[in-house]
Amino acid sequence: MASINKKNGKWQVRVSYYDEFGKRHFKNKNGFARKKAAEQWATELEQSKFDKSIGKLDTTITFSAYYLQWLETYKVDKVARITENEYRYALHQIEQLLPNVKLSEMTRIRYQKFIDTFTHGNTKQRAKRQLNANEPYHSKASVQKLHGHIHAAVLDAVADELIHSDFCFHAVLGGHQGKSAQLKFLDAADMHKLANEVNKNIKLTSTSKSMIYTGLLTGMRVAEVSALTWSDINWIKKAIRVNKSWDYVYGQKFKRTKTESSIRTITVTDELLNHLKQLHALQVSAELNNPDHLVFLNSRGRIPTPGACDILLKKYHESLGIKRISFHGLRHTHASYLLYKGVKMEYISKRLGHKNSSITRNVYAHLMQEDQKQEDTRTINALTNLG
């Protein structure tokens, strides 16, 4: 029997039914503008109960076809284009490694073999890197990302009762470790060297230098730094508002931040504000054509690309003798330095725009080199005093 009610000006329907195993379930739908539409939907479900089509598994749809439907329903135009392409990459892997396999035929063993095959890589990929028999082709991070994208769809398939169980549950994820975390950030000494270098000789012909300084002192992502406009800077409260990012891939334009939690306000130092004031004065003096009021627009009317910033960081690696990092390494450096200085993880998490501190904790579980040495010394001294 269908239950039809009105809530907050909209009609909602709830229909109960029993599956082929005798287990009771409910189907709900909200948001009907008219009661007649709600009644029609309920009538169609009641008919499916009569002909016993409701509650039965769809044994015809392939895993790849379901994933495509899920992707188009829940991700297309709802996530960033780059993120959408990551989901499409997962679809490509399903099509390549599980061709024509039905969703109802997926099991935990079959899924584990799929994950293992992806981790190992194909013959061409392995030959290119000259890998030994047991060496994985993909990194652990890549395997985890693929698994996460697929698992989200599978959980929805279970929720929609298209399948009875989550075949991704307890999958064993392999892969090589990728670059060491120690290679992705600067220690305190190198950080000071870089900060001093990029905070001098400010000029419009090299706004990538100013972008590096900003990234180092705020922990902002490169796309967030690139999208900064002068109205985002609160000179009085000494803060920068992050509310958009820059689309390098699909056209030089603004786009949404990576996540909702990425929208945040970051307090900044007087040194950074003074640096940006000088940059602003140079733009005004040069009468730069800057209709979007972009902070890092250079003398050629462009925002430096991440690649240009990375090339400059490579030059500093050579001239200053500091570790080689990418622009994203500035974000790791910022967070690691704050951890080293005893700043609370929860605050750092909000400053970086992470959804919660557990994400920050997982990424920045390491300590700065200096902190490791100090803790080693403290530990040895403490143990020595025992005996």
Give the pairing of strands 2-7 and 264-267.
unpaired
DSSP E strand boundaries for 202-359? 233-234, 239-242, 245-247, 253-255, 264-267
Question: The tokens of 16 are what?
Answer: 């109960």
Sequence length of the chain is 387
Give CA–CA dist 306/222, Å, rounded.
7
pLDDT at residue 383, rounded to an integer:
85
CATH superfamily of 187-373: Intergrase catalytic core (1.10.443.10)
Q: Assign domain 63-160 to its CATH architecture.
A: Orthogonal Bundle (1.10)
Tens of pLDDT along the chain (387 residues) come to: 678 888 888 888 887 777 665 667 777 778 788 888 888 878 877 766 555 555 555 668 999 999 999 999 999 888 878 889 999 999 999 999 999 999 999 999 999 999 999 999 999 999 998 999 889 999 998 999 999 999 999 999 998 888 989 999 999 999 988 766 555 889 999 999 999 999 999 999 999 999 999 999 999 999 999 999 999 999 999 999 999 999 887 777 898 888 888 999 999 999 999 999 999 999 999 999 999 999 999 999 999 999 999 999 999 999 999 999 999 999 999 998 998 888 898 999 999 998 888 777 777 765 545 566 677 777 888 888 776
DSSP 75: T
Give the count of beta carbons closer than 10 Å to the beta carbon of residue 306: 19
Average pLDDT, the chain: 88
Whether residue 240 contacts residue 265, with contact meaning beta carbons closer than 8 Å, is answered with: yes
Question: Could you tell me the CA-to-CA distances from 294 to 244, 332, 368 in Å, in that order?
Answer: 12, 25, 34
pLDDT (tens digit per residue) in 249-287: 777 789 888 888 899 999 999 999 999 999 999 999 999
Q: What is the per-residue pLDDT for 110?
A: 97
Nearest to 334 by CA among 312, 356, 353, 321: 353
- Report the pLDDT value the prediction gives residue 179, as an integer from 0 to 100: 65
Map out the domains of the chain as residue ranges. 2-50, 63-160, 187-373
Say how far apart CA 256 and CA 380 lie, in whole Å.
50
Can you say how many angstroms the Cα of residue 264 is from the centroid of all Cα atoms in its chain?
Answer: 16
Residue 73: name the closest of 32, 10, 65 by CA: 65
Write out the H or E segment, with its range, that includes residue 27.
strand 24-32
230-257 in b/e burial notation, b at 16+ Cβ within 10 A? eebbeeeeeebbbbbbbbbeeeeebbeb
Would you say 103 and 162 are in contact if contact means Cβ atoms under 8 Å apart?
A: yes
